Chains A and B, each alone.
Chain A
Amino acid sequence: MKSNKLILFILFATFFASCDNELEIDPKQNEDATVTLSTETGITNILTGAYAIAADGDVYGGRILTSADLLAQTGITATTDFRWRGTFGECRQFYSKSILVNNAFVQQIYARNYQIINAANTVIENIDKVQDTERQTTMVAEANFLRSMAYFDLVRFFAKPYEAGQANPQLGVVIRPNAIYDFTIDLAKERSTVDEVYTVIIAGLNLAYNDLPEDNSFYADKYAAKALLARVYLQQGNYPAARDAAHDVIENSGRSLSARYANAFNHDENQSEDIFAIQITKQTGENEMTNLYASENNGGRGGDIEIRSTYLAKFTDPADERRNFNYINPDNGRRLTSKYTNQFGDVPLIRLAEMYLIRAEANFRAGTFTGNTPVADINLLRTRANATNFLTVNLATILRERELELAMEGFAIHDLKRTKASIDVFADGTELIPYNDNSLVFPIPLREMDTNSKISQNPGYGG
């Protein structure tokens, strides 16, 4: 009897003693933030992670581009350049200018860009963990580039257009100047003005340009920053600055136009014309462009966005390779662009061709000939596309050339806004949607309205 009790006692005692250690368990797929933020590899990986967020299909993997193109369409089959034929209601709302405050794609664009911003801020504020000072400088510059890129798209989509040559006190987007580590405190904040947001964007890109190396593999380099700056200045109508930035990229970036128009697309790696591209592999990133533009055989959904004859009619030369850079999906007869036929191909965000277009337009508007004449820059692209050259150009032909060259690459709504054009719904002037119409601005997502007590909604989307 006694021995039995003893055995039991020992059994219980040893068991109790050995168990408490068993409560110490760490996650195996995640790392505690304190660990990540205290190590060099942690900080460098957060920077790479910021690119990875950008490579999500919700944002620079595609939807930031498709949203901009769909938003600029008439929404009417007979008059549209690109017809939305897919089933995503969110995209249909862009197409038909009836965006709801709970549009999930709008929310994702908003949320992901702020994830990029917080990751960039985190890198900048914890850069002291990185030993090498040169590496520090480059990383901070890359973080600035990504943050400016995110703010630029946020302010273009979520705020009323930038009005050139005047103050822009209209509401922009929330600026987060510091990284957020403690989420238990009140994080409500009102939007800053459009002017303030542009100030942040330009400062970040200038810093990036100054500090980035000329070659930075597939990450953002010096000329990626400059090229984005050219785009920002153009959006602001600051033509001399846009011209000079584009000129710098053309002259110094070492990039060159690809031999044929077709070669500029569907890359697995950056090619000569790519200034900055979102890298997609089978394992990382999502090519949402192919998903929406390609036939099922090319890795898409069958052609959610179809090219209409309205667009083809914009080409004056039927031999223009850009006019014929498309195919008919045999499954459903839709005409689809050949720009996106590689399911795991990279998504080009900035091509050198855009710099020629910016330089041509800015030179033309400023009446200057920096680098080359506008007609020469335009003809460079036309020659490459096997299109007859122009003898002269005017603003309309330059802007039209942008449509021919850059269609379905995410420019349409932003060009429409900066040129103060209107959407001519029935192509007869009976119904115009002006460039600054409420319906062409995204709503602040309902989810943000519900959680940020200080933020204001855009006009036309309720309280």
Chain B
Amino acid sequence: MKIKFKHFLSLLIVLSVQLTFAQESTVSGKVTDMGGLPVPGANIVVKGTTISAQTGFDGDFTINAKKGQILIVSFIGMKTVEIPVSASMLIKLSDASNQLETVVVVGYGTQSKKKLTDNIARVTAKDIQQIPVSNVQNALVGKLAGVQITQTNGKVDGGINIRVRGAASISAGTQPLYVLDGIPLVTTNESSNGAPTNPLLTLSPNEIESIDVLKDASSAAIYGARGANGVVLITTKRGKEGKGTFSINLSQGVSQATNKRKWLNADQYIELFTEASINGLGDAAEAEDAFDSFAVGTDWRNREVDTDWQDTAFQDGFNTDADFSVSGGDANTRYFFSGAYNNTTGIINSNALERVTARTNVSHKLSDRFTAGMNLSFSRSEISRVQDDNSFTTPLQAVAQSPLSPDRFEDGTANPNTLYANYLLAIDNSFWKTLMRRVTGKVYGEFKIIPSLKANSDFSYDLLSQTEDAWYGKDSPFMATDGEAYATSVNNETYIFSNYLTFDKTFGEKHDINAVAGMEFNKFNRRFQSVTSIYFPNDSFQTVDGGAEVSAGSGNETDYTFVSQFGRITYSFDDKYIFKASIRRDGSSRFGKNERFGTFPAFSAGWIISEESFLKDNATLTFLKLKGSWGKLGNAELGNFASRQLYGSNPYNLKSGLSFTQAGNDNLTWEKSTQIDFGVEFGLLNRISVEADYYKKNTDGLLFSVPLALSSGATSINQNIGEVQSSGVEFTLNTKNIDSDKLKWNTSLNITTNQSEVISMPNNNKDIIGTFTINRVGENISSFFLAEYAGVDPANGDALYVKNTLLADGSLDKSTTNDYAEASRVVSGNPFPTLMAGMTNTINYKGIDFSFTFQGEWGASIYNSAGKYQSVAADYFDNQTVDQLDRWQNPGDITNVPQARLYGSNGTGESTRFLDKSDFVRLRNLTIGYSLSGNAIKELGMSSVRLYATGVNLLTFTNYSGYDPEARRDDTGIGEEFYSAPPARTIALGVNINF
């Protein structure tokens, strides 16, 4: 009632005002930024009244006000101004970031950037919207100092790796905690085909207002045992007071692989394998026998068939984005609705995504003291998937097929008689459909107990429900049961109940105190079931019911809980000296009873020197702040029951059985990471702002899955042992190069260095050796560990390796051998970059906006674990990369490719031969837009229109010899490539329309 009455009252006022001052009661004007570009969606309120308006897309507004009144004009990210009403108003807003008045989101509250003693990287909606990528994380690449974001490979559903300030762990999780509007999100990868999916694929960028990444201990300690890998806080959009706005965005784009590799054609294939057969086996019979079999009756001698298998595996991608949002509100109620549709056809044959998302955020002020609200979103993402990289039927493994084999026969059917199972048979006769559904919501209340003390209570729920349906028809590869259908269903749900009190008061003008104290309970449950059936009447039956026999089934459940208490206090004196302390105590079901609780404190301090009298009002050095922090964080991502010694079900001949599944360790607990951070921020001439930070994080009590002697009957044991250190420097520079009315040019540059080093290890610092990697004290985490390839013996074409055996004097024997078994492995590279940089330029000129982002990474290498098949001078019949034509042929030949010897294993051992540096610089994103204005649009009922063109991964500069420096294998391994799809290069055209 109260609301309606207020509405009514304001209406009455407006009417009466209009009646009395009909001529001058309506004021119109335009809001622009300092560069003269319109600011759409700015909020305008007549001071002291409830009269409000919002600007349209062209920045124009009309409001009922009269002379003498004051208008308050505000917009997120800009400095709020108060301006007296005049006849025709042109209001210019300046960037708030310059004034350091930006507000950043911290856990359980917000804080002004100026007084921040933490290290938090932030992007806002304008940085990420309209980039034609199908997931939010990809839009962040290159824009956050200290944060490395890599999509595993170019599949639309591909998993994402985010590393905040380098790895803090070796065996436990390394991914940050994602918190959306206060809800720790479910981020379980629920793919059951070997390759991970991205569980945050369900988020649409159009509903996101900002993303804040908590990087240091001071900021992340409020998330305690889950903060060691950083925390990504996602804030969704909310309605603003004022007239409702409706806007839509449409775009369509095309994409292609960033790179293709060169493979042998039929001529080259025959030449190389004939030679290999003669060298390896004495004559060409073996090769010709194989050619006959590949050619399936076609005349290979006359090159009747020359299939480019790689071309068949890629396709032209196509993507459509359409989204809309409605937002608005009045003094008491604010609302935001949005919906988005994305349809992406991937660059890999038969890989596609279709997603629908919707969100509503509503809040209502019931009284001056009580506000309640609800955020709710749902999404549905349907993915048509291909097999993981290590499957014969994944499209990119087709590059291994002989070019002499037809891919399809004349009647269009796929050729079943290929060297490896023809993936086209799988494409034609099977599917793998993943459907992710997510509902995320929270209801919350905020109650002001006294003006300086408020209580918040939130109840949140997140459900990720995923089903996978796979069907294999009669003619699909490896099918002997007349068809198979496999269906899974998994629900991941988490609910969070959090309650906290916030105290905020200034005492005696100079003492600011802000304190937060609260508790949180988080319970997670995962329930999985699957069923397989076989023997189908025919291919038109594609669900489990069609099968004659249910041949396999599975059902399981797992849980974890966290019970936490937390507190934080920030004190600032005279806006110059800032102190902050925070603490969180976490208890979790994941750890043994003795080690069930952990406490995570952090302290930080800052000194805003520019507020001191000797620097105040200095025209050159406009801002200067020093800050430092120390804190402890935990990493609890090691699985739900990692400490227990366990037996699991292992039936035999339909009789129940139990087998040992996990070696236990009663003392297992979280990894403890101690982080320090020192930083300086300064501003020059109000045009240049610089932030530089040094960070160091030491993680000890490292969770290790320590390999055990296999002869013990167990394979590994989880232990808290060992320490790693990750350190480096982050540097962020923001400049306004040109800041005139017509032309505005901003540059943002970030540079990060990271060294992640193993400090100590289990079992008296014994090396832990993985398939191609090693963790060794003094070396980078997960360094490559390989035999060192030494090229080719010019005398006989044998592949050579450096022996690298330890000599009596402690040095390594650098002589070479052609016997792979004689070569010891050595540390030979780092799978992670040591230097990363991103640079974004934004240029606005009249109605044109132009921005581009370059991104680069240096110091990492990638191991091509398929190299032993595809680049080994015809060791087996896999098609080879063209560089293998440089093989040794005659004594004296100097080359890096050994003599071609069929079945000869000449140079096929795992070695640095297949390791390559993956340094790259790429034009990550470029967008150019043009805003139309004028009557033509208005006549169509629109208030503004912007046309834009945008692209992703447009240019790549690299010497990397594989597909792409950002393509890695998705089934296993660290820093490996294995028939891994390169990312997409996408170009899209779009339009924003505002009504």
Chain A residues near B (Cβ < 8 Å): 1, 4-5, 8, 11-12, 15-16, 19-20, 22-25, 27-34, 36, 42, 45-53, 55, 75-77, 87, 89, 92, 96, 98, 100-102, 107, 110-111, 114-115, 117-119, 122, 173-174, 176, 180-181, 183-184, 186-189, 218, 279, 281-285, 294, 296-302, 331-333, 343, 445-448, 450-453, 455, 460-463
Residue among A55, A98, A111 making CB contact with B715, cutoff 8 Å: A111
With A283-B551, A451-B710 already in contact, the answer to whether A100 and B909 are too (CB < 8 A) is yes
Q: Does B267 contact A (CB under 8 A)?
A: no
Q: Is B713 an interface residue (CB 8 A)?
A: yes
Contact A285 B821 (CB under 8 A): no
**B661 / chain A contacts, CB cutoff of 8 Å:** 30
Docked-complex contact B821 and A297, CB < 8 angstroms: no
14 A-B residue pairs with Cβ-Cβ distance under 8 Å, sorted by A, are A11-B457, A19-B563, A42-B658, A48-B652, A48-B656, A52-B650, A96-B905, A115-B659, A122-B660, A176-B713, A180-B714, A296-B480, A298-B480, A448-B709
A50 to B713, CA, bound (A): 11
Using CB atoms, name the residue of chain A closest to B523.
A22
Residues A20 and B707 in contact, CB atoms below 8 Å apart: no
Which residue from A11, A23, A36, A452 sits with its C-beta under 8 Å from B647? A36
Complex: chain B residue closest to A184, CB-CB: B665
B102 an interface residue at 8 Å Cβ cutoff?
no
Determine if A92 and B903 form an interchain contact, defined as CB atoms under 8 angstroms apart: yes
CB of B478 to closest CB in A, whole Å:
6
Contact B589 A447 (CB under 8 A): no
- Identify which of residues 688-730 in chain B touch chain A, using a CB-to-CB cut-off of 8 Å: 707-715, 717, 719
Query: Distance (Å) between the CB of B15 and the closest chain A CB?
Result: 39
Residue B20 at the A interface, CB < 8 A?
no
Give chain A residues whose Cβ lies under 8 Å from the Cβ of B534: 282
The 9 closest A-B pairs by CB, nearest first: A118-B713, A48-B657, A299-B480, A49-B657, A279-B653, A183-B663, A49-B659, A52-B652, A33-B645
Cα separation A5 to B453 with both chains bound (whole Å): 11
Interface of chain B residues 902 through 918 with chain A (CB within 8 A): 903, 905, 909-910
Do the beta carbons of B711 and A448 come within 8 Å of each other? yes
Number of interface residues of B (CB under 8 A): 93
Most buried by A among B648, B805, B869: B648
Which chain A residue shows the least CB distance to B527?
A: A28
Which residues of chain B have C-beta atoms less than 8 A from A122's C-beta?
A: 660
| Structural contact, A45 and B708, CB atoms closer than 8 A | no
Q: Is the CB of A29 within 8 A of B556?
A: yes
Known pairs A19-B521, A45-B658, A189-B711; A27 contacts B644 (CB<8 A)? yes
Known A23-B563, A32-B646, A462-B821; contact A50-B659, beta-carbon cutoff 8 A: yes
From B588, B658, B664, B711, A114 is in contact (CB under 8 Å) with: B711
Min Cβ gap A438→B in Å is: 10
Whether A12 lies near B499 (C-beta < 8 A) is: yes
A11 CA to B416 CA, complexed, in Å = 67
Closest chain A residue, CB of each to CB of B550: A282
- Counting chain B CB atoms within 10 Å of each CB, the highest count among A16, A25, A31, A122 belongs to A25
- Return the chain B residue nearest A47 by Cβ: B657
Q: B560 near A: Cβ within 8 Å?
A: yes
Min CB gap A452→B, angstroms: 4
Closest A residue to B400 using CB positions: A87
Contact of B559 among A25, A301, A461 (CB under 8 A): A25
User: Nearest Cβ distance between residue A326 and chain B, in whole angstroms?
Assistant: 18
Q: In the assembled complex, which residues on chain B have CB atoms less than 8 Å from the CB atom of A47? A: 657
Say yes or no: A16 contacts B457, CB within 8 Å: no
Contact flags B538-580 to A (C-beta < 8 A → 1, else 0): 0000000000010110001111110101000000000000000
Q: Please pick, from B447, B478, B481, B712, the residue contacting A301 in the complex, using a CB distance under 8 A.
A: B478
* Interchain nearest-CB distance for B592 vs A (Å): 11
Chain B residues closer than 8 Å to A51, beta-carbon distance? 652-653, 657
Q: How far is the CA of A147 from the CA of B706 in the complex (A)?
A: 26
The residues of A that contact B649 with a CB separation of less than 8 Å are 29
Task: Give, as a whole number of angstroms, the nearest-CB distance from A108 to chain B.
Answer: 9
Interface residue? B449 (CB, 8 A): yes
Q: Is the CB of B561 within 8 A of A114?
A: no
- Is A452 touching B652 in the complex (CB atoms < 8 A)? no
Smallest distance from the beta carbon of A221 to chain B beta carbons, Å?
15
Q: Are B480 and A29 in contact (CB under 8 A)?
A: no
Once the chains are docked, how many angstroms separate the CA of A173 from the CA of B711? Answer: 9
**Is there a chain A Cβ closer than 8 Å to B655's Cβ?**
yes
B14 within 8 A of A: no
Bound: A284/B556 CA distance, A:
18
Report the minimum CB–CB distance from B272 to chain A (whole Å): 19
Contact of A281 among B285, B481, B654 (CB under 8 A): B654
What is the minimal beta-carbon distance from A105 to any residue of chain B, in angstroms?
Answer: 14
Q: Are A279 and B708 in contact (CB under 8 A)?
A: no
Instruction: Kindly identify which residue among B416, B563, B903 contacts A22, using a CB–CB cutoff of 8 Å.
Output: B563
Mark out the residues of chain B between 391 and 417 whose CB falls within 8 Å of any chain A CB in the assembled complex.
392, 416-417
Task: Report whether A100 and B654 are in contact in the complex, using a CB–CB cutoff of 8 Å.
Answer: no
**B797 contacts A by Cβ under 8 Å:** no
The residues in B between 789 and 832 inclusive whose CB is less than 8 angstroms from any CB of A are 805, 820-822, 824
Nearest-neighbour CB distance to chain A for B875, whole angstroms, equals 10
Q: A45-B656, A48-B655, A296-B477 are in contact. Are A20 and B587 (CB under 8 A)?
A: yes
- Using A22-B523, A296-B480, A448-B711 as known contacts, list a sample of 16 further A-B pairs with CB atoms less than 8 Å apart, ordered by residue number in A: A23-B587, A28-B557, A29-B648, A30-B641, A32-B647, A33-B664, A52-B650, A115-B713, A117-B713, A119-B659, A176-B713, A180-B712, A181-B645, A184-B717, A284-B653, A450-B767
**A23 and B561 in contact, given A118-B660, A450-B767, A452-B711 (Cβ under 8 angstroms):** yes
Assess the B665–A52 pair: CB atoms within 8 A. no
B281 within 8 A of A: yes
Q: Is B941 an interface residue (CB 8 A)?
A: no
Q: Least Cβ distance of A394 to chain B in Å? A: 35
Looking across the interface, which residue of chain A has its beta carbon closest to that of B713?
A118
Q: Which residues of A contact B479 (CB under 8 A)?
A: 296
Q: Give the chain A neighbours of B889 by CB distance below 8 A.
A: none
Beta-carbon contact of A332 and B293 below 8 Å: yes
How far, in whole Å, are A366 and B910 apart by their CA atoms in the complex? 50
A-side contacts of B101, CB under 8 Å? none
A residues within 8 A CB of B559?
Answer: 25
Q: Which residue of A lies closest to B649 (CB)?
A: A29
Q: Nearest B residue to A118 by beta-carbon distance? A: B713
Query: In the complex, A195 Cα to B559 Cα: how many Å?
Result: 50
Nearest A residue to B769 via CB reads A450
Q: Which residue of A lies closest to B498 (CB)?
A: A15
B278 interface contact, C-beta 8 A: no
Assess A31 versus B647: contact at CB under 8 Å? Given A1-B449, A282-B552, A332-B417.
Answer: yes
CB of B452 to closest CB in A, whole Å: 14
> What's the nearest-Cβ distance from chain B to residue A82, in Å?
15
Q: Which residue of B lies closest to A218 (CB)?
A: B653
CB-based contact A25/B711 at 8 Å: no
Question: A27 near B558 (CB under 8 angstroms)?
Answer: yes
In the complex with contacts A32-B645, A48-B657, A77-B286, A451-B556 CB distance below 8 A:
no
- Residue pair B712, A118 in contact (C-beta under 8 Å): yes
- Min CB distance, A30 to chain B, in Å? 4
Q: Beta-carbon contacts of B453-468 to A below 8 Å, as 1s and 0s?
A: 0010100000000000
Contacts of A173 in B (CB 8 A): 711
What is the CA–CA distance of A282 and B710 in the complex, to the nearest angstrom?
29
B868 contacts partner chain A, Cβ-Cβ < 8 Å? yes
Interface check B640, CB cutoff 8 A:
yes
In the complex formed, the residue of B with least CB distance to A24 is: B589
B650 touches A36 (CB 8 A): no
Task: List residues of chain A with CB within 8 A of the CB of B293.
Answer: 332-333
Assembly CA distance A281 to B421 (angstroms):
26
A96 touches B707 (CB 8 A): no
Beyond A15-B499, A296-B478, whether A451 also contacts B708 by CB under 8 A is yes
Residue B497 is within 8 A (CB to CB) of chain A in the complex: yes
- Nearest B-chain residue to A299, judged by Cβ: B480
Q: How far is the CB of A113 from chain B (nearest CB, A)?
A: 9
- Chain B residues within 8 Å of A448, by CB: 709-711
Given A34-B645, A89-B868, A296-B477, is A11 in contact with B499 using a C-beta cutoff of 8 Å?
yes
